[in-house]
Amino acid sequence: MNLKGRSFLTLKDFTPEEIQYLIDLAADLKAKKKKGITGQSLKGKNIALIFEKPSTRTRCAFSVACNDEGGFHEYLGRSEIQLGSKESVKDTARVLGRMFDAIEFRGFSHKHVEMLAQYSGVPVWNGLTDEYHPTQILADFLTLQEHFGYLKGLNFVYMGDGRNNMANSLMIGCGKMGVNCTIIAPKELWPNEEIVGQSREYSAAAGSVITITDDISAVKGADCVYTDVWCSMGEEEKAAERVSLLRPYQVNAQVMETTGKDSSVFMHCLPAVKGNEVTEDVFEADYSIVFDEAENRMHTIKAVMVATLGE
């Protein structure tokens, strides 16, 4: 499958077959790395890593993946470039596109990553925006595929803030891949209707179901219970309000028991605020696969880089 030259901004832009290709490529690259085999597909390639928002997993994943494949990366923090302040995003994109072979962007506005892709002339990868987090979903799906052996037909439950970038991206990804996805959230934090509608179109084509509810008992039958922080970066002033609203939606031992399945797993995109969205005992339980998931950020990001830029 040829994805050369494509940007990776949201899973809406990719077919189920293309998403599966990236997951399988990541599994192959992971197996090779475990054997000490790395590649040279990015040799001679210069990659800009723009970070308006700080990160552990995303930054390390892009850096290690780039190094493994023989590329060079330049970290550009918020205070180091003029993006959208002294210089327009459009102009920054045209400058970076002349100097780099690809650009990663992790920041606030999804419009900014779209403009970088539109004007730079090189592949642009979304490391996270306020609306979408597509590289995380690839890592989640690789982890689920490793654990269960398949994706299509799994019952996936997300509990917490239903209108953040993770809920958005999980609905889109699950819809595309035929995974039944239930978002359990207070009505005040239900996801955007447009994204729900798009996801349901994908799921109808794939033979799965997207459900939005405030009923915690809907966790019954879940193969995976997933959560995220209750207050996203940039929303710190809403922390007290969110904690009060979301306290009933904490993933705890009782929630995991309610699935009714001994095989259910717990996942979290990290970092976790233990005691808020998840209890310590669930986070540390044998059924918690959060660190497999974290490692897989690197393998799936590498797959995106190799597929869209590599030789």
- Residue ranges for the known binding site for L-ornithine are 165, 228, 232-233
The one catalytic residue among 228, 231, 242, 299: 228
DSSP character for 70?
A: T
136 catalytically annotated: yes
269 catalytically annotated: yes
The one catalytic residue among 6, 59, 73, 106: 106
Residue 257: count other Cβ atoms within 10 Å of its Cβ: 12
SS3 content of the chain, % helix, strand, coil (to 5): 50, 15, 35
Specify whether the CB–CB gap between 196 and 165 falls below 8 A. Answer: no
Which amino acids are annotated as binding site, given as ranges? Answer: 55-58, 82, 106, 133-136, 165, 228, 232-233, 269-270, 297
Residue with tokens 């934090």, as numbered in its chain: 189
228 catalytically annotated: yes
* Sequence-separated (6 or more) residues with CB below 8 Å from residue 280: 274
The one catalytic residue among 59, 73, 112, 136: 136
Residue with tokens 């654990």, as numbered in its chain: 147
118 catalytically annotated: no
268 catalytically annotated: no
- Class of residue 239 by CB neighbours under 10 A (exposed 0-12, middle 13-18, buried 19+): middle
- Class of residue 308 by CB neighbours under 10 A (exposed 0-12, middle 13-18, buried 19+): buried
Which amino acids are annotated as binding site for carbamoyl phosphate, given as ranges? Answer: 55-58, 82, 106, 133-136, 269-270, 297
242 catalytically annotated: no
Q: What is the DSSP string of 40-64?
A: -TTTT-EEEEEESS--SHHHHHHHH
**Torsion angle of the four alpha carbons 146, 148, 151, 156, in this order, in degrees rounded to the nearest 10:** -110
Q: Hey, which residues are catalytic here?
A: 106, 133, 136, 228, 269, 297
